[in-house]
């Protein structure tokens, strides 16, 4: 280790930042835009009404279910997002797995009062900008995940080595020498680095954790196996997904959703339902009803 440990860390700190700096800048810029995805969506889709209605979640859910029964009555899965504030100002519907048509899916945004689909222009809006920061657009998703992961790992390396290199990092934070050329830029660099150090450290580490099952797939394979069925078994056990029996081919009535919603609101409070997912299937030996429900709560 020629030149000592700290000098070696200085080399690693410099080059780990320079090599992927522009990719990281792009990721942070588009990720920042993602915080304003709802506002950008509204700006890019002026057809969507801006006024907020006082419709209750119960009424919005009934409108959404009615629309799903109309456009996708035989879909294998329905997902409904009732209005829940800034992020979801309108009723959002998604469906997938229409029998006989393959894994087709669709989505609609509804008017909160009429339940009719809003005819807005087709644009990615703010969500497209948000997804840019980890999908990089125009690249296969798996390749994008690995590029983003490699850049994030190099950024984490730059952060840790930067702390090692600047042994007086907190003292340097209060030091600024203007009109000193390169020295002034370095002082400015130290000041910004220390000021945002907790944010940069956690945003980089958490970004790697989000895709841990992609980057560390061999850990799962070592215990469960490498086949698709083995990974599904791992996720079922890790996230305690309920077992779903084989369909018998006999239709059974769905459980009363209105009652379930009312019971959920009584438990969580009015307006706290974030999402409803309905997996529709035929009756089986393990379950007497045709549909299984999953509710997501607002945080």
What are the sequence ranges of the domains in the chain?
5-37+127-215, 57-120+246-297
Whether the per-residue pLDDT at 287 is higher than 50: the answer is: no
Q: Quick one: 118 exposed, middle or buried, by C-beta within 10 A (0-12, 13-18, 19+)?
A: middle
CA distance 146 to 166: 30
pLDDT attached to residue 208:
93
Q: Which residue has the tokens 């000041």?
A: 191
Asked if 208 contacts 152 with a C-beta cutoff of 8 angstroms, the reply is yes
Cβ atoms < 10 Å from Cβ of 190: 21
Res. 244 pLDDT band, cuts 50 70 90: low
pLDDT attached to residue 252:
59
CA distance 73 to 66: 10
Q: Which of 15-19, 137-141, 206-210, 260-264 has the highest mean pLDDT?
A: 206-210
Of 162-176, 221-235, 276-290, the range with the lowest mean pLDDT is 276-290
CA distance 231 to 221: 8
Whether the per-residue pLDDT at 101 is higher than 80: the answer is: no
Q: Quick one: 245 exposed, middle or buried, by C-beta within 10 A (0-12, 13-18, 19+)?
A: exposed
pLDDT attached to residue 152:
92
Of 34-48, 97-111, 128-142, 183-197, the range with the lowest mean pLDDT is 97-111
pLDDT attached to residue 38:
85
Whether the per-residue pLDDT at 195 is higher than 50: the answer is: yes
Which string of b and e fits 270-286 if b means at least 16 CB within 10 Å?
ebbbbbbebbbbebbee
225: phi > 0 → left, psi -120 to 50 → alpha, else beta; which? left
Whether the per-residue pLDDT at 153 is higher than 60: the answer is: yes
Looking at per-residue pLDDT, the higher value among 290 and 28 belongs to 28
Looking at per-residue pLDDT, the higher value among 35 and 187 belongs to 35
80: phi > 0 → left, psi -120 to 50 → alpha, else beta; which? beta
Whether the per-residue pLDDT at 93 is higher than 90: the answer is: yes
Looking at per-residue pLDDT, the higher value among 169 and 64 belongs to 64
Whether the per-residue pLDDT at 205 is higher than 90: the answer is: yes
Of 14-23, 166-175, 224-233, the range with the lowest mean pLDDT is 166-175
Asked if 45 contacts 119 with a C-beta cutoff of 8 angstroms, the reply is no
Mean pLDDT (the chain) is 79
- Give the sheet arrangement for strand 291-297, strand by strand: 105-110, 91-96, 77-81, 273-280, 291-297
Mean pLDDT calculated for residue range 116-145: 87
Whether the per-residue pLDDT at 288 is higher than 60: the answer is: no
Asked if 96 contacts 117 with a C-beta cutoff of 8 angstroms, the reply is no
Whether the per-residue pLDDT at 242 is higher than 70: the answer is: no
Mean pLDDT calculated for residue range 76-83: 88
Whether the per-residue pLDDT at 262 is higher than 90: the answer is: no
Whether the per-residue pLDDT at 284 is higher than 60: the answer is: no
Whole-model pTM above 0.75? no
pLDDT attached to residue 34:
87
Map the chain to HEC letters.
CCCCHHHHHHHHHHHHHHHHHHHHHHHHHHHHHHCCHHHHHHHHCCCCCCCCCCCCHHHHHHHHHHHHHHHCCCCCEEEEECCCCCCCCCEEEEEECCCCCCCCEEEEEECCCCCCECCCCCCCHHHHHHHHHHHCCCCCHHHHHHHHHHHHHHHHHHHHHHHHHCCCHHHHHCCCCCCCCHHHHHHHHHHHHHHCHHHHHHHHHHHHHHCHHHHCHHHHHHHHCCCHHHHHHHHHHHCCCCCCCCCCCECCCCCCHHHHHHHHHHHHCCCCEEEEEEEECCECCCCCCCEEEEEEECC
């Amino acid at each position: 280790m020629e030149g000592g440990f700290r000098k070696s860390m200085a080399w690693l700190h410099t080059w780990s930042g320079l090599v992927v700096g522009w990719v990281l800048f792009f990721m942070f810029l588009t990720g920042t835009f993602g915080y304003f995805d709802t506002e950008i969506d509204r700006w890019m889709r002026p057809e969507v009404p801006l006024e907020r209605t006082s419709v209750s979640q119960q009424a919005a859910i009934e409108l959404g279910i009615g629309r799903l029964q109309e456009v996708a009555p035989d879909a294998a899965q329905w997902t409904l997002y009732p209005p829940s504030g800034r992020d979801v100002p309108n009723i959002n519907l998604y469906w997938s797995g229409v029998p006989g048509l393959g894994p087709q899916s669709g989505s609609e945004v509804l008017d909160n009062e009429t339940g009719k689909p809003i005819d807005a222009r087709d644009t990615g809006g703010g969500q497209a900008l948000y997804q840019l920061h980890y999908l990089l657009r125009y690249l296969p998703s798996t390749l994008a995940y690995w590029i983003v992961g490699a850049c994030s790992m190099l950024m984490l390396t730059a952060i840790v080595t930067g702390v090692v290199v600047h042994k007086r990092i907190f003292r340097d934070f209060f030091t600024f020498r203007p009109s000193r050329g390169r020295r002034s830029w370095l002082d400015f660099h130290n000041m910004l680095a220390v000021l945002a150090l907790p944010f940069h450290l956690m945003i980089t580490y958490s970004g790697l954790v989000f895709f841990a099952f992609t980057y560390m797939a061999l850990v799962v394979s070592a215990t469960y196996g490498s086949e698709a069925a083995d990974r599904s078994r791992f996720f079922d056990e890790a996230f305690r997904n309920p077992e779903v029996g084989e369909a018998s081919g006999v239709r059974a009535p769905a459980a009363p959703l209105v009652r379930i919603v009312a019971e959920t609101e009584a438990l969580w409070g009015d307006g706290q339902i974030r999402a409803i997912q309905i997996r529709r299937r035929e009756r089986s030996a393990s379950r007497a009803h045709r549909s299984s429900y999953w509710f997501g709560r607002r945080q």
